[in-house]
Amino acid sequence: MPNIFRTKNVPFDLPALYQLSLRAPGQQFAELSTYTFPLTPSSLRSETTDASTFNDTQGPVLQNGINRVMDVFGISPPVFTIEGTTGWDRHLADGYVLTGMQSMQLLVAFIQKYKQLNQTQIAAGNSNLYALEFYDYFSTQFWQIEPIGPQIVQQTNDRPLLTYYRFRWAAIRPVRFPVLGELDAVARTFATPAEQAAANAAQSIGAMLIAYTPTGVTSGILSALP
């Protein structure tokens, strides 16, 4: 029987761009700091859970004596598992400013700072918390997230110069729009001159670690950065 199905090539026109954005409390559209993954993650897994459940009760003969009662609750937001490396060399994504190791240190400090800022808010009795958002431009998924479980950073003896990450993030609610639209995000990331990229990197680190840091918390985070 002849094969009547055919495929048609689709142009690759979606950016494989992934970002984390830290938002200030009460300012949903105010970007506090953004981290761009300098290399595409090697793996990104999205898990959703269908929360529907059922109970079997006695039923009619035509149903083999079973009546199945369904409780339908819907599908949960996804849980993301993201894995990869920031490499070793400097990257086009930040204008060749940071090495792979420095990018990893900034990524770890970025997540730690988010946690510390919210712990400070909670300790002060302030219910307005910072928001962490994840932007997947390739799949057009934009979510407010919360890190859950082990946040793993590891090195191996077969590739001692590379550092790998494995994070799990629970999505909380969808974000209608990221900080930057697709074209603007790509333009900022890949078409920024090195000098401006250096200034952006310094501004990002400075804004995250100094301007928005409660007194006495800065030193531990700064020591984690190059």
The residues spanned by each domain of the chain are 18-50+76-222
The helix (run of H) or strand (run of E) holding residue 53 is: strand 53-58
C-alpha to C-alpha distance for 84 and 41, rounded to whole angstroms:
5
The beta strands (E) that lie in 63-195 are given as: 66-71, 79-85, 131-136, 141-147, 152-156, 159-174
Query: Cβ distance 83 to 164 under 8 Å?
Result: yes
C-alpha to C-alpha distance for 61 and 68, rounded to whole angstroms:
13
Q: Percent helix, strand and coil across the chain, each rounded to 5?
A: 25, 30, 40
pTM of the full predicted structure? Answer: 0.73
pLDDT per residue of the chain (226 residues) written in tens, 0 to 9: 566 778 888 776 666 789 999 888 875 556 678 888 999 999 999 999 888 888 899 988 888 889 988 888 888 999 999 999 999 998 887 778 888 998 999 999 999 999 999 999 999 998 889 999 999 988 888 999 999 999 999 998 988 889 999 999 999 999 866 555 544 544 444 444 444 444 554 454 444 444 334 443 333 333 333 3
